[in-house]
Chains A and B, each alone.
Chain A
Amino acid sequence: NAGVMQNPRHLVRRRGQEARLRCSPMKGHSHVYWYRQLPEEGLKFMVYLQKENIIDESGMPKERFSAEFPKEGPSILRIQQVVRGDSAAYFCASSQNRDQPQHFGDGTRLSIL
């Protein structure tokens, strides 16, 4: 049973470009969570999605960031017009339901030039 798959593992963008991060949850998991980890810090919650629905986006920046989890395909975290401060590791986690623990992917390291 494959784990949570994130791609790409590393992504380099120039300021002003768009970044798209993908997350395929574990088989049978319909709940997806995105977290951001800045250097030397813990993970910060960004958004919680179920299939086709955003359940909690209280940790998402108000501008430039969006997330989706379509009926088919992976969850996407999209960052428009990236800035240097967006450089971080972005982790996706999935769970089977609200009562089961979250399982994490290996993350996408985003670097902004």
Chain B
Amino acid sequence: GEQVEQLPSILRVQEGSSASINCSYEDSASNYFPWYKQEPGENPKLIIDIRSNMERKQIQELIVLLDKKAKRFSLHITDTQPGDSAMYFCAASGSTNAYKVIFGKGTHLHVLP
């Protein structure tokens, strides 16, 4: 299987709080997990990624966790700001039989003032 499940589809949080998005994958050969942010009318932009040799990665307010045994990974945005409102996509790639990235269906994050 090559599906990537992403939850929730819609997430509303208060400004200053944390937001968490969870993803799971099926292909145990996956070894690269990027996260993309897409604003309305724009292209997806890579914001953070993690490889299978890591369990945690942080870039400023973005934290990514990877649990290879459970085949789950997650994005945590701390101290959310209105500018964080956007669509977020998780993805998985590195399967041995493809050059493709499988994306989740996206999470629409709304940061409420």
Answer whether A and B are interacting partners: no
Interface of B with A (CB < 8 Å)?
A: none
Residues of A within 8 A of B (CB): none
